[in-house]
């Protein structure tokens, strides 16, 4: 599928992916610019508490190495395409941004004052949590294989942080929690109609 058609068919996935790749490219192209972007966008609990609220949103778009970016983008592309087809672009962006933002904001209550966090894992875990709850709808509209893949991805994303010390397990768990909440709210909304 040509890029133009892909962007037209999946605008949310395209915009969020391009934004993350663009920011990462700026970071790696120039050390000074990279440091500036990192310090301006990273979630730092102490600074969030002091009123720099944007730091609950901007870490979602911040990755410091290619492996980190590649894994998060790959997971997002896999989940995002299915969810954007199912939910539409507005709802996908809502779940992605809000689960990541709420997870980042919640970190101030359970991590150290100077804790620094970044990456889209909080948002991706939100999508996984949403998909877990919404899986019956996913099966009826897509395939059972997708639901099995969601379970495998969820397991991997919950286990890996225990084996790599530089992964924010709290962000993963909080993103998952908020995604589950959004999934439950969506199911309740469907049952109302």
pLDDT digits (tens, 9 = 90+) for 100-123: 999 999 999 999 999 999 999 999
User: What whole-number distance in Å separates Cα of residue 127 and Cα of residue 179?
Assistant: 6
The pLDDT value given to residue 40: 97
Helix, strand, or coil here: 116?
strand
The pLDDT value given to residue 142: 55
C-alpha distances in Å from residue 37, one per residue of 55, 107, 118, 161: 12, 21, 12, 25
The pLDDT value given to residue 53: 97
The pLDDT value given to residue 137: 65
For domain 3-192, give the fold: Rhomboid-like fold (1.20.1540)
Contacts of 137 (CB under 8 A, 6+ apart): 86, 190
The pLDDT value given to residue 167: 83
Domain boundaries, the chain: 3-192
Q: Which residues of the chain have pLDDT under 70?
A: 1, 136-147
Q: Is the pTM of this model over 0.95?
A: no
């Amino acid at each position: 599928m040509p890029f133009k058609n892909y962007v037209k068919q999946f605008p949310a996935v395209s915009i969020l992916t391009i934004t993350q790749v663009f920011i990462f490219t700026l970071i790696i192209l120039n050390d000074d610019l990279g440091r500036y972007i990192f310090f301006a966008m990273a979630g730092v609990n102490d600074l969030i508490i002091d009123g720099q609220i944007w730091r609950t949103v901007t870490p979602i778009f911040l990755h410091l190495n290619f492996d980190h970016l590649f894994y998060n983008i790959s997971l997002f592309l896999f989940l995002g395409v299915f969810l954007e087809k199912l939910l539409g672009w507005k709802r996908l962006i809502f779940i992605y941004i809000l689960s990541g933002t709420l997870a980042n904001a919640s970190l101030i209550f359970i991590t150290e004052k100077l804790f620094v966090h970044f990456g889209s894992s909080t948002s991706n875990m939100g999508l996984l949590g949403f998909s877990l709850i919404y899986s019956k709808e996913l099966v009826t509209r897509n395939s059972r294989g997708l639901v099995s893949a969601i379970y495998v991805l969820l397991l991997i994303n919950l286990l890996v942080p225990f084996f790599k010390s530089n992964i924010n397990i709290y962000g993963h768990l909080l993103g998952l929690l908020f995604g589950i909440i959004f999934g439950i709210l969506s199911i309740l909304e469907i049952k109302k109609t």
